[in-house]
Amino acid sequence: MADTILVINAGSSSIKFQLFDADGGADGGGAADGLGVRLRGLVEGIGTHPRLVLKGDGDAVHVEPLPARPGDSVPEALAFLGGWLREQLGGAMPAAVGHRVVHGGAAYHAHVAVDDAVIATLETYVPLAPLHQPNNLAPIRAIRALMPGLLQVACFDTAFHRHHSELADRYAIPEELYREGVRRYGFHGLSYEYIARRLPALAPEIAGGRVVVAHLGSGASLCAIQDGRSVESTMGFTALDGLPMGTRPGQLDPGVVLYLIDKGMDVRAVERLLYHDCGLKALSGISNDVRDLLASPDPRAALALGYFIHRASLAIGAMAAAMGGIDALVFTAGIGERAPAIRKAIAQRARWLGVAVDERANEAGELRITRPDSRVKAYVIPTDEERMIALHTRDILGGRHPA
């Protein structure tokens, strides 16, 4: 039986997973990276109505309710998932488990094999990513407690950006704070790395050029990629900066935080506000989900979407300026891949850069969504963070990049 690699992307109420065959050939998109997908799905509704959702080819989905108790917490759901996977593998265990970890901080420029010291360091970054880091670390601890000899790999959303120039990396703050790690990290790096990896096959004419990638989802950011490397990003010290998101405000004058504190809000209350009660949710008063806002006749929904488009359009100009120009624009992630109205609006706002959208191709979600005469090309490329995690895990498993 081929070695398998399990990839886990854990949230507060769900655990996404994919099981890869380490020598399984090309993926569905044609990337001959030697990884075949055996199983993919998620355990969702943890703590409320837990269920196992398996995703097959195309739109095929199988849903299986979980017993109440095994879904009460992430560790319990993970234990259930582990037993279920073991049955699917005939009692065998995966050769390694790869995890998405949002913040690698100043300590980690690359993905690493997990030990107790790594876990302790990653714990210190919880205040920098309170929405994600605790959930990312929970399954690592649970698996380590049950199977301490199983290789686990932490793959960081910050790693792809850790070679930025000092000008892009710094804030205008005292040197001692920079040395403590207060700097611009950037996030969604696994997604951007996957897009950069796919460009030579999907769009070789722009793969070595100046590309702005828009990762637009519940969390949203833009990245300037030149010759396959990240040179600038809209996100900074935490995943609050840059574009407005589902429940996060994006770019915000620090004076607003000082004002809130002066009004009597403590740190935890401000944290709750900025991570859970801002963004599209706050602007619309309806929902943090773009699908709901697109379907709503409420003018507040239009305001929220208009603001999102406006800020994204401004950021595209900033990313282009960081590279001294732009050759292509790539849309990815949930909104970027599945909301043609949002893509169209953003692309039309980028006409001044040379983007000429093909409305038919955009509506159909084709690979290239600009007209043949468009000076700057625009593409829609589905991302696959789990595949990038599996590739990095396989490298460490093979000893090519030891911890």
Give me the active site residues, please.
157
Question: Are 195 and 213 spatial neighbours (Cβ–Cβ below 8 Å)?
Answer: yes
| Nearest Cα to Cα of residue 81 among 166, 17, 159, 173 | 17
275, 277, 289, 341 from 268: Cα distances, Å: 10, 13, 25, 37
Contact (Cβ atoms closer than 8 angstroms) between residue 184 and residue 233: yes
With contact defined as beta carbons under 8 Å apart, do 183 and 233 qualify?
A: no
Helix (H, G, I), strand (E, B) or coil at 156: strand
373 burial level (CB within 10 Å; 0-12, 13-18, 19+): exposed
Query: Taking CA 158 as the corner, what is the angle to CA 153 and CA 163, rounded to the nearest 5 degrees?
Result: 110
Q: What is the DSSP string of 68-104?
A: TGGGSSHHHHHHHHHHHHHHHTTT---SEEEEEES--
The Cα 162–Cα 105 span in angstroms is 10
Helix segments in 116-236, DSSP class H? 116-123, 133-146, 166-169, 175-180, 189-202
| 277 touches 260 (CB < 8 A) | no
DSSP sequence for 219-249: SEEEEEEETTEEEEES--SSTTSSS--SS--
The pair of structure tokens assigned to 134 is 């605790």
